[in-house]
Amino acid sequence: MKKRKLSNQFLRNFLVIFLLAILDTVLALMLLSFASRLIAGSLTKNRYPASAIIKDDYKQIDASAVVQNGGGVQVVDREYRLVYSKGLDTIGKDKLTAEEFTVFLTESKSKPYHYDIVYNPKGGFWLIVTFPTSIRLDFALVYNKEAAAGDFTRAGLAIAFVVLCYLLILALTAFIYSRITAASITVPLKKLCDGTRLLREGDYSARVDLRLKNEFAELQNTFNDMAARIEHEVSMRKKSEEDRRRLILDISHDLKNPMTSIQGYAELLMKKAGMTKQERIEHVEIILNNSKRANQLLTELFELSQLDSPEFLLKPVKTDICEYIRQICAELVPQFEREGFKYEFDIPEEGVFAILDTDRFSRIIQNLANNAMRYNPKGTLVSVRLNVQNNQAVIDFSDNGIGILAHLAESIFKPFVRVDDSRNSKTGGSGLGLSIAKKIAEAHGGDLTLHPDKNKGSTFRITIPTI
């Protein structure tokens, strides 16, 4: 529907342009004849006509002015003999036959010379004045009212037929040309429309390939970029919705166990008669542990959502990161020894400065240390190394313990992701520790990543920009 409208618009435009071109041509011809009339008087051929120099006795003819202006004067007598010739000579013979002379007279119009021929009856000769033609355009409409009426009709019909054919060819050319030109716009437009429609219908993988290099190609690139962006945004939104849904499911799942347990034991305490003191203490202990577990989970969830909130701000302070890590490691030593873990630290003596919120940052190290002790057997070696690479402090926190499967290297940082995936794991971990730690590292402009050790154990790498 739209295609037709645009093509018709083109057809109309082309017809108007063609008709205007015809009008312009007619106007140009009229202008040409006017201009030629304007200069006619000054042209050499008109300044020296044959009638001006003719004499009864051809011998007295003065040809000097004509010859000086590049022309020629010839006299042909009754026997068609060239009896006088001065300057330019286009006849080129001393004697002509009657036939040759007739040909000369009739064909003189089509030669690039201007001939002015006068017959002198008294002297019995023809005077021919010749000038070379500068530029001449022969186009004229000639008619005579006295011509036979039938001829007029026939000639008129022939002209009308030619004009009609001309207009028909013009219309056909305009039609074909308009369709071809319109197609160069309607075809890419249709492809773009189809792409947009697909996008509107929810197919975000829709892309347009016009194989053009003009403005449409720019439009195509913009369209494709836009579609790619929408596709990306939509998939991100889907993913974040999925993450949120999973998070809620995990939270309710993880809270359900301690809450059910608290409820069950509380009811037992209330209803069961004749309970020994020891039994009662055991029940209360279970209630206490479960409420601690629920409380820890809620505290960590609160911390995680705080880190995600736009109002969250660090309290950054310029800190010597080597000195600071050394202090934290010193605080970890009693814990490692108490739990029976081996340790080694490799922190350079030099001062390396970074902007840190030390309270938050210590949370990362504490969490990694807790994990190392929680998930690995006694006797595991835990090492902390710090070095500076490309304006970044790189802290490798490694252990030679059970390790984490390589395919979990990314997902382990997602909330509630645990290696054994058992929700009521004996370890009591919430699965939120690494997510919180990564978010704190990111808030510092750095990152926390896992590099599963090829040999044994795992290496967590914290990177922080230095100043």
Contacts with ligand ADP by CB under 6 A lie at 367, 371-372, 375-376, 399, 401-402, 404, 412, 418-420, 429-434, 458
Q: How far is the CB of 432 from ligand ADP (least distance, A)?
A: 6
Report, in Å, the least distance between residue 466 CB and ligand ADP.
26
In whole angstroms, give the CA distance from residue 391 to residue 354.
10
Q: How far is the CB of 402 from ligand ADP (least distance, A)?
A: 5
- CB-nearer residue toward ligand ADP: 192 or 408: 408
In the bound complex, what is the minimum distance in angstroms from residue 338's beta carbon to ligand ADP? 18
**CA-based radius of gyration for the chain:** 53
Token pair 């304006």 in the structure block, residue: 391
Give backbone dihedrals phi and psi of 39, rounded to 5 degrees, phi first: -95, -5
* Residue whose CB is less far from ligand ADP, 319 or 458: 458
Contact assessment for residue 322 and residue 348, using Cβ atoms and an 8 Å cutoff:
yes
Instruction: State how far Cα 399 lies from the chain centre.
Output: 50
Nearest distance from residue 276's CB to ligand ADP, in Å? 35
Q: 100 and 32 in contact (C-beta within 8 Å)?
A: no
Residue with Cβ nearer ligand ADP (7 or 371) = 371
Beta bridge partners of 115: 130
Give min distance, CB of 410 to ligand ADP, in A.
12
Residues 6+ apart with CB under 8 A from 458: 398, 399, 401, 403, 404, 450, 451, 452
The pair of three-digit structure tokens given for residue 83, joined into one six-digit string: 């009896």
HSE at residue 135, side-chain half, CA atoms within 13 A, is 3
What minimum distance in Å lies between the beta carbon of 379 and ligand ADP?
14
Q: How many CB atoms lie within 10 A of CB 186?
A: 19
- Of the candidates 183, 160, 162, 164, the residue with the CA atom closest to the CA atom of residue 172: 164
Q: Which of 339, 405, 402 is nearest to 373 (CA)?
A: 339
For the bound state, the minimum distance from the C-beta of residue 398 to ligand ADP, rounded and expressed in Å, comes to 9
* Residue found under tokens 């009811």: 267
Helix (H) or strand (E) holding 329: helix 321-339
User: What residues form DSSP beta bridges with 356?
Assistant: 317
Residue nearest to ligand ADP (CB): 429
Counted residue by residue, the chain has a size of 467
- What is the token pair recorded at 244? 């949120």
In angstroms, give the least distance from the CB of 429 to ligand ADP.
Answer: 2
Nearest approach, Cβ of residue 247 and ligand ADP (Å)? 13
d(C-alpha 313, C-alpha 465), whole Å: 18
CB 283 within 8 A of CB 265: yes
Residue with tokens 């003065």: 62
Task: Provide the angle, in degrees to the nearest 10, between the axes of the packed helices 149-200 and 215-271.
Answer: 20
Nearest CA-CA partner of 140 in 35, 18, 32, 42: 32
